[in-house]
Structure 1
Amino acid sequence: MAVLIRRFQIPGGAPIPQDEWSLGPSAELIDFIPAPLHTRDVVGRIVKQATSFAGTYGMGGPGFFGLDLGDDWLFVSLWGAADWMHLKGRCVRDIGSPELSALLEGCTITSLRVDRKSMSIGFDDRMVLMIDEDSSRRAPWPGTGMPRTLAPDEDLRDGVFLCPTVELWTGD
Structure 2
Amino acid sequence: MASKRPILKAIEWAKLAERVPEGQKPKLASFRAKSDGYLRRVMANPEQAPKIDWAYYKKWVPIPGMVDTFQKQYESLQIPIPADTLTSSIDAQESQVKDAIAKFKSESNARIKSFKEEADRIAALLPYEQMTMEDFAEAHPELALDRTPRPTNKLFVRLLCAEVSYCCS
**TM-score, reference length from structure 2:** 0.19
Structure 1 or 2: more helix by fraction: 2
Please say which structure displays the higher CA radius of gyration. Answer: 2
Determine which structure has the larger strand proportion and give its number: 1
TM-score, normalised via structure 1 length: 0.19
Higher relative contact order (CA 8 A, sep 6+): 1
